Structures are given as C-alpha cells and as structure tokens.
Amino acid sequence: MTAAAMRCRLWNHSRQPLLGSPSRAILLHHRIVPGFVRHPVVRGFSSLEDGSLKSSESYLIGPNEPPLFEHPLPFHWGKHILPNYHDQPALISKTEPPSPTHQKGKSDCLRLSYSELDQCITSMALGLHQLGVRKGDRVGINTPNHSIYPILQWATAKIGAILATINPTYAPSELVNVLRKIDCKVLFSTPSYRSKDTVPVLSSLIHEIPSLANLVLVDNESHRPGQRSKSEILHKFHAARSASCSAVMHLEEVINQSSYAVSQEPFIPELEADEVVNLQFTSGTTGLPKAVSLTHLNLLNNAHHVAGRLNLSSKDSLCNVPPFFHCLGSVIGNLASFVKGAAVVIPSETFDPPAVLWTISEERCTVLNGVATMFLAELNELDRMQDLDLSSLRTGVVGGSPVSEELVSRIERRLGIKELTILYGMTETSAANFQTQANDERSKKTTTVGRIYPHMRAKVVDLVTREVVERGERGELLLSGYSLQKGYWGDPLETAKAMISDREGRVWMQSGDIACIDNEGYLKIVGRAKEVIIRGGETSFQS
C-alpha cells in the first residue's frame, strides 16, 4: 500500500463535523470508564454576546459564538489544519539534531513543516499500531520538552489511544503509582533528564508495571559530544529488563515498523468527540496525583478559544516554554498554535532563560507563553544580555498566578509585548476558561484574569450556604460547560467530590479557588478555599 493510500485510511474525510445548532446541541458523556461522571454537557447558552451577566448575581454565561467543533482531533487535523498549512513551518526544536529527510533546506536543528509533521505523525501512529496499541490503550510519556510530545499528541489520537503526560521529576514510587493507576501499555522516556542518568531508575522499575509491554527510548543525548551512544543506553536496559516488559526499543525502531505494516486490521477505529484522548496528572499537593481525563472535544475547543484571545494565525511562531506534561505547554502552547497554523518553537528541554531569549531572537518568535516566574527570570536574564533583538514579539500569555503591575510594565517595555494576555484555568477544565483580551486596559491585566470563554458558565458561591453571591462578593468559583473533564481516571470517589450537579442537572467543577466577579464580568482570583476559616457560619478570608 502506498503512503498516500495509507494516509487515506487514517481518517475518512468525508465525515462532516457535528456542528448543528449550538442552542440545541447536547453531547452526552455516554462512554463511561469507571470513575467518570455521567452528565450532559450543554453546547450552547442563551446569553449576552460579551459573556457578561444579566443580573447582579455572580453567575456568568459565555457567548454562543463561535460554535463548538464537535469532531475528534484527527478529523480536524485532516480537514482544517493540514490542507490549509501544509507548507508552513509547524515545529522547530532547537535542542534536537536535524532530520536527514525533513529540513526544507535548513540543517541547524530539527525543523518540520506541517506536511512533514504529518508524515511523522502517520509513521508514529502506524508504529504504535504494529506494537499492538489499540483504541483505549494508555501510552505514557515522561520526557522533557521534545518533538516527540506533539507527534504523540496527534499520533495517539489517530488510533484512538490515550496519551498520558507524566511529570519526569516524579520520584520512582510516584512514577510506579501513576503507571499502575492507568495500566500503561507503552512508555516513552529519555535516558537523561537535566543531565541526570535516568537509566538505573527506569530499568529497576519496569518489572513493577505488569501492564507495560514496551519501553521506548527517546534519545536526547547520543548526538551530543561525549555522551553515551544509543547502543550503550539500550544495553543497560536490556540487561535489567523483566519478563513482563516485552521490549526495550529505540524511538527509530517504532517509527521504522510503519514501513512494513502488514496488519489487515482497520488502522483507524471510529472515534467520537467525547472520548478520552489525554490523561494529565494533578500536582498531588493534596494527596497522590489524580489522572484528569480530557476528551477530543475538551482539547480542540479550548485550544481554539486560547488562540482566539491571542489572535493567532499562520504568521505566528510561539516560543513554547512551559513543560509539555502540563496543559500550559501541551494545550495553550502546542494545540493552540497548531489549530491556527502557527509554528511551535521548542527553545530547550527544560526551562533555560538564556535559551528562551536567544531562540526568540534567532527564530523571530511572535508569541511567548509561561508563568509569571518564567517571565520574571527571562527579564532578569535580559538585563545581563546585550544586543538581543526581540522586536518580533507581539503577544504572550501568562498563567499560573496573579501578575503585578510592575511585571506587566517590564514585559511591555523590555520584551516589547504590547498585546499581553492573562489567563486562568485548571487541568480539570482543559487548561483555560478565562482570559483577558489583548486590548484590555492594563488594570484589568494586573487585577483580573479576564472574561469567560464561549460555551462556558461560571458562578461564585458562598462557602457555607453554597448559594450564588452578589457581584463583587467573594466565594468559591465553580465552572460548567464543554471544557469539564470526564472524571478522574478510575477514581469515582474523587470525581464525585470535585464534580457536582445542580438542581437542573448541570454539572459543575469545584475549583477550590476563592474569587469574585466585577460588574463588567471580569474574574478576580483572591485565594484558595482551604485557606478560609469558617466559624459558626461566619467566613473569614485570610489576607
């Protein structure tokens, strides 16, 4: 079968998106993995166009437009992304060697156009299929930032598998716990992380994961002078592999399997927008990490809403700084760029302020994302560097914490970002739900996290009565709409604690954040519910 014919099998492009009428479209979460909430998610709301509230209560309803995409990620890639941007730059990784088959005439680092990225995705999907990965199987990745992340994001989606993005800083016991929790079938990992050898730890753990069939090594060191060769790394693993782990492989071996794929089994299963495609883990600050179950519909639409607030287009290139195991890197960075045909630029494996600044200058990046502490570190580093041209920067997004007036001023003045946006969200709601506009006043960017996204609802409730409070009053923020997770994987008790239904049957995610909503519909985050003291029905907010 030719490569073109195989790609035709990847997805039936004749299938039409299930848009319909947003006011009546309801997608029921009917495929329930144990621990998931069964609830209808309303796709459209009757509301004011600007998302502001129609009463004095702290209850927001997002706009109905634009309509939601209600098809899976692979359909969107084949129908809306690849045909429109095939020759555009898609992915640049400054820390990886050039590919002998993809470069567009450049050889300083890894550079892929959208059509070249599509070839990598197709090869990876076929390789995973040859390994026996099927719809619903969990594929884990715990590497630093690397091109393998976006490739796996799309490749696993194509075959209906679920990508579990795992923090590479987990202690051995934490890694074992999360891999067991999700019954991980294939794990992608690197032989080193932050110059630390990961081989001894990984090789000692694989026998503790009964479900693990393959460990795939993503080589991030053999191309560097003085580092171990691929054969040396593999030899160490093979010496320690267990009977339960069928193979330790190079990444190249997985991809090469696609060239002799002979299976007669249909390569691509039927996919639905409400099926789980990604597991992301909570921080574990209040217990063991929980696996957040995100769907095609969650991620695709959230990426579009982020991109819309940033005004992204195919003319943009986003310097993606946060770790890719986090939604700030994987959704707000990768997916938001791809849905608009922008290029994703990876400056370094882990956060490295000088590398970020040099990358912006060399690649003429127009967008920068990160948390406030990352921006602060970059600004401090910039003060020590000379003759660096960052004039290409147009916009950026700051998430994770409130942003001070001083920091916004420095970002605008020193980095030249005039269209900075601030956003708020949580992993359980697909990344982001509130975001400022590029043209919002600075006071809104330093005191609020913006306005609500389309097709979402938010309310602030009293901590004792759980009734909606008046505008300007503090309480716990609850969120409802398309972006809510399907549940914590295999954890019905924690799911039931976090996701509750109101009298109308609408499901709400309890954020645990103390917030207030002003008269213009902007949200302010002022603390955490766990920091509030309640005595005799009286609420005391800590300063």
**The dihedral of CA 232, 234, 237, 238: what is its sign?**
negative
Task: State residue 4's pLDDT score.
Answer: 36
Strands (DSSP E) found in 258-384: 276-281, 291-295, 317-320, 343-346, 367-371
Give the pLDDT score at 342: 99
Dist. CA 168–CA 349, nearest whole Å = 11
Strand pairing category for 186-189 and 196-197: unpaired
Q: For every one of its 543 residues, what pLDDT tens digit does the chain have, with 9 covering 90 and above?
A: 433 333 333 333 333 322 222 222 222 233 334 445 544 443 333 334 344 445 799 999 999 999 999 999 999 999 999 999 999 999 999 999 888 777 665 678 999 999 999 999 999 999 999 999 999 999 999 999 999 999 999 999 999 999 999 999 998 889 999 999 999 999 999 888 877 777 777 877 888 899 999 999 898 776 665 566 767 766 666 665 554 456 788 888 898 876 655 554 557 889 999 999 999 999 865 578 999 999 999 999 999 999 999 999 999 999 999 999 999 999 999 999 999 999 999 999 999 999 999 999 999 999 999 999 999 999 999 999 978 999 999 999 999 777 999 999 999 999 999 999 999 999 999 999 999 999 999 999 999 999 999 999 999 999 999 999 999 999 999 999 999 999 999 999 999 999 999 999 999 999 999 999 999 999 999 998 775 544 444 444 454
DSSP string, 83-126: HHHTTSEEEEETTSPPPSS--TT--SSEEEEHHHHHHHHHHHHH
pLDDT on residue 71: 98
Give the pLDDT confidence score for residue 11 in this predicted structure: 36
pLDDT at 255: 87
Cβ neighbors of 232 (< 8 A, separation 6 or more) are none
pLDDT at residue 18 in the model: 26
- Check if the beta carbon of residue 24 is closer than 8 Å to that of residue 439: no
Which tokens hold the place of 132?
């026996």
Listed residue (154, 489, 214) closest to 337, CA to CA: 154
Q: Three-state SS for 219?
A: coil
- Omega before 66 within 30 of 0, i.e. cis: yes
What pLDDT score does 451 carry? 97
**Distances in whole angstroms, Cα of residue 171 to Cα of each of 87, 108, 168, 329, 470:** 42, 35, 9, 22, 45
Alpha-carbon span 108 to 202, nearest angstrom: 31
Q: Can you give the pTM of this predicted structure?
A: 0.87
Using DSSP, state whether 254 is helix, strand or coil. Answer: helix
**What does the pLDDT read at residue 197?**
76
Question: What is the separation, in whole angstroms, between the first and last Cα of the chain?
Answer: 66
- Residue 364: left if φ>0, alpha if ψ -120 to 50, beta else—which one? left
Q: Whole domain around residue 140: which residue ranges?
A: 1-543
- Number of domain units in the chain: 1
Q: Which CATH number fits the domain that encloses residue 344?
A: 3.40.50.12780
CA distance 310 to 419: 8
pLDDT at site 239: 61
Residue 242: predicted pLDDT: 52
Per-residue pLDDT at 48 = 40
- Tally DSSP H helices, then E strands, for the chain: 17, 29
Of 11, 22, 151, the closest CA to residue 91 belongs to 151
